[in-house]
Amino acid sequence: MAVASFAVAGDARSDVRLHRFAVVAGNDRGGADTRPLEYATEDARRIHGVLTELGGVARDDATLLLNRSSSDLVAALAGIESRIAAARTRGERTTIVVYYSGHAKDGELRLGDTRLALGTLKARLQKLPAEVVVGIFDSCRSGVRFKGAVKGPAFEIQNSVAEDARGVVFLSSSSADEDAQESDDIRGSYFSHHLASGLRGSADRSGDGRVTLSEAYSYAYSRTVADTAESAAGAQHPTFDIGLKGNGELVLTEPVTRREGLRVPGPAPGGTYYVVQSGFIAAELVKPDNEERRLALAPGRYLVKRRLPDRLRVGEVRIAVGQLVTLDEAALKDVPFSDDPVKGASRDASMGLTAAAGFQSFFDEQTRNSLFPPAGLIGIELQIRDFFRRGWVVSADLTLGGTRATLVRPDDSALPYRFSEVGLGGSLFTEWHHGNLIPFMGGRVALMVMHREFETKTIPKQDFSTFSPSFIGGLRYRLGSGFSAQVRGRIGYFFYNVDHKERSLGYLELATAVSYDF
Amino acid sequence: MMKCLLALSLLVGACGGNYSNEDIDFQLALPERQELTVKLPNAVQLEDSAEYYKWTRGTVVTFNYMTAAFLGLIDAVRAYPATERHPGVRVWGPFANDKHPAWVVRVTIIQGEQKFLYLVEYNRAKNPLREWGKLITGEYSPRGGVRRGAGSFDLFLLPAREVGYPIDGLDDIDELHIQHQTLAYPVTLSMQIGYPAPRTMASYDYSENMDGSGAMRFKFPTDSPGLSELELRSQWKGSGIGRADATVTRGNPLVVGWKGVDCWGLDTRATYKHRDWEPAKDTGDPSSCAFGPP
């Protein structure tokens, strides 16, 4: 959750100092029954950055809470409340933006395993002593339902009395029955991404170098609806609930105050310009025909992309400190869609270690009785999650097993022996995250070495090795603190070809395991 | 595609082994050392041990030496996995002869209806013979447990010696035939040894009871004038006391049928001695003899 202060355009008391505050919170986890989000904390960082760079919020007045609990959020609000009160005592006008990205469900924000009722939070925000309070909620399947919430492309502050704006306004990234969607291309939620882009200047319809609340919302609404219209989850419609008095426009950011940035001149073709950094879309700029647009950006190297029906127009832009770079259309090159500089997010791979214990048994009774007896297994497995792609796990494992058994030959000879096996395997499987319960399924190939040693020393030791493919499936349950428990099964194919009897055998392995994700 | 083929060949190459129940059946289809060993209780020999006891013990040592030579040749079957596997057939070797590296040996075992047939052959490591030489043929019918069965084998030394294959320790023997059974008590073991002319065949029959008692009967040619062949029938109890009855079976008609008897106690010394040809020199008490007075 973030609170940001904003300026009021046309402020009748412009000689009075405006003190801006922000509390920004992001939490990727929503506790039981929710699937972890990928970019909620990234959204929070992004909004925090815009507000402190362009929103006039001093870093000391901005609180960033990443993966923190509801009590941390309440404590942060209490802390900021006293500072607002102190500012007002000094005669300053105050504004605050509270931003939250994360799970919300059944009328509650989910901050990890903790919850905070929306009604409680709303009442808390309304009691803040700031003149203007802006609450922004980018919530996944939020169910965020405010009294009077409106689904619409834009709003205007309606008040016939000429006075400074004061009151509370809430923005929500989706309506009560919608998911707030994320994208790997932008490494964030659509709503927060477009809100941030808008605040950086893309939403500045008036071209005055300042982005008002209504401009930002209008821009974020239209871009979010457009980007999610074709998604599997359906279009996502941001909503607002405004309770402001006064006729002043609420200015959230002033990109014009930042010297560095990108300027797309009026003669440049209209359309959407994507600013790409490190393979993902850092910001977007929607330029109407014959109108100039500016986007405040930090110094650095960017690629600018514009999509045409049959190709892309791509060019590099280097923004130095204090430099406002004008985009030269002639410097852009035509490239095919296959060379799109937006690669999408490559989520960092993570490693895990699993220790397992179980048993193995061949399906064929004769095989169990005379060749490979049911055996206990222990194993250790090193896993890399999201290595090839998100949700996929590649792993390497070492399995040891053994038992004692007796071989009975046709002449009734009983030959006790000790059976052992070693398996060295590699697996690739995919996981489906449903809260803390994670089903998984995939395949494994293992080099299996079977060995038996008879008590009758006159019989030589025997070995057999083969590569065995198997299907794997199971359930993993997240216990917390990186630990999880799982049950899993493997059904394998085993080719046996000694004695000139080529046999296709099948076996089952069942195991319980404990995993730790680093 | 080539990389795929290479990877596949590596995978296939990593497979295999000797994990085989059938191999075990073949390996069990050979007699065990203890099945081919004559066990004589208190097998000590003193300077004044009974004369026929000494003869018996000497024969037992020779007998066991012969079977040990055979077992040594097929030890490779027990020590190594089969080199070749065919339906009903296993082949071990060729292995280099440890003491004579110019020669190689291979062992073949064939599974029949109720028995296994085995064959030990030899050949030169270089400039091989046109056909592998046959050194041992045998058969074994396993029944009722590990290495409990009946079988026989024949050792052909004369043709091996003729092509130069070295037969260590069996230089004065042309052929050897052994029959054995351990299916039920008394277990039995018989051996026939063919000597070069003018000597003929010597035969040995051994039986062993569950209580450790046993008997051995052997005929052997002698070089003594007028005494072509003797038969000695030795018997002993599990405690070690025993007796041996000698009979002249061939030679001068005047002595054919003459008998001699030695009885011995726990210390292998004679408790009674009798010779038909020296009746005045009887010693001891005939009632002390095991298995009744002579």
Q: For residue B3, how many other CB atoms are within 10 A of its CB?
A: 7
Distance between CA atoms of residues A398 and A401, nearest Å: 10
Spatial CB neighbours of A189, under 8 Å, sequence gap ≥ 6:
A39, A40, A43, A101, A138, A140, A173, A180, A181, A182, A183
Q: Could you give the count of Cα atoms lying within 13 Å of A464 in the half-sphere of its Cβ?
A: 17
CB distance from B111 to chain A under 8 Å? no
- Token pair, residue A38, equals 């990928």
Q: Among A378, A366, A425, which Cα is nearest to A403's?
A: A378
- Token pair, residue A118, equals 């929306």
Pick the residue from chain B with its C-alpha nearest to A456: B146
Over residues A218-269, the pLDDT tens digits come to: 888 888 888 777 666 677 788 877 766 666 677 889 888 877 889 899 999 9
A498 contacts B85? CB cut-off 8 A: yes
pLDDT of residue A147: 36
Which residues in B lie closer than 8 A to residue A465 (C-beta atoms)? Answer: 14-17
* Mean per-residue pLDDT over chain A, rounded: 83
Amino acid letter for position A481: S
**Chain centroid to CA A118: how far?**
22
The pTM score is 0.55
pLDDT of residue A163: 46
Residue for token pair 């680093």 = A518
Return per-residue pLDDT of chain B as tens, 294 residues: 444 444 554 555 457 888 998 888 888 877 777 778 888 887 678 888 999 999 999 888 888 888 887 777 777 667 788 888 888 899 988 988 778 889 998 999 999 888 899 899 999 999 888 899 999 999 988 775 555 788 998 988 889 988 998 887 777 888 889 999 988 889 999 999 888 876 677 889 999 999 999 999 998 777 777 778 889 999 999 999 999 999 999 888 988 999 999 999 999 999 999 998 888 899 999 999 998 877
Amino acid letter for position A476: R
Alpha helices in A66-174 (DSSP H): 70-89, 118-126
Q: Among A221, A217, A254, A238, which Cα is nearest to A8's?
A: A254
B22 contacts A462? CB cut-off 8 A: no
Cα radius of gyration (chain A): 30
* C-alpha dihedral sign at B42, B46, B50, B56: positive
**What is the ipTM metric for this complex?**
0.72
Which residues in B lie closer than 8 A to residue A497 (C-beta atoms)? Answer: 15-16
CB distance from A411 to chain B under 8 Å? yes
Q: Which residues 78-97 of B have a C-beta within 8 angstroms of A?
A: 78-81, 85-87
* DSSP string over B230-257: EEEEEEE-TTS-EEEEEEEEEE-TTTTT
pLDDT of residue A280: 76
Instruction: Return the SS3 of A242.
Output: strand
Residue of A362, A364, A407, A411 for testing the chain B interface, max B β-carbons within 10 Å? A411
Cβ A327 vs Cβ A264: under 8 Å: yes
A177 burial type by CB count under 10 A (0-12 exposed, 13-18 middle, 19+ buried): exposed
Cβ A172 vs Cβ A151: under 8 Å: no
Average pLDDT of span A428-433: 88
pLDDT of residue A247: 60
Residue for token pair 């020779």 = B62
Over residues A302-337, the pLDDT tens digits come to: 989 888 888 889 999 999 888 889 999 898 998 877
Q: Give φ, ψ of B50 to 5 degrees.
A: -55, 140
B21 contacts A371? CB cut-off 8 A: yes
Higher pLDDT, A387 or A143: A387
Q: Give φ, ψ of B149 to 5 degrees.
A: -170, -160
A447 contacts B85? CB cut-off 8 A: no
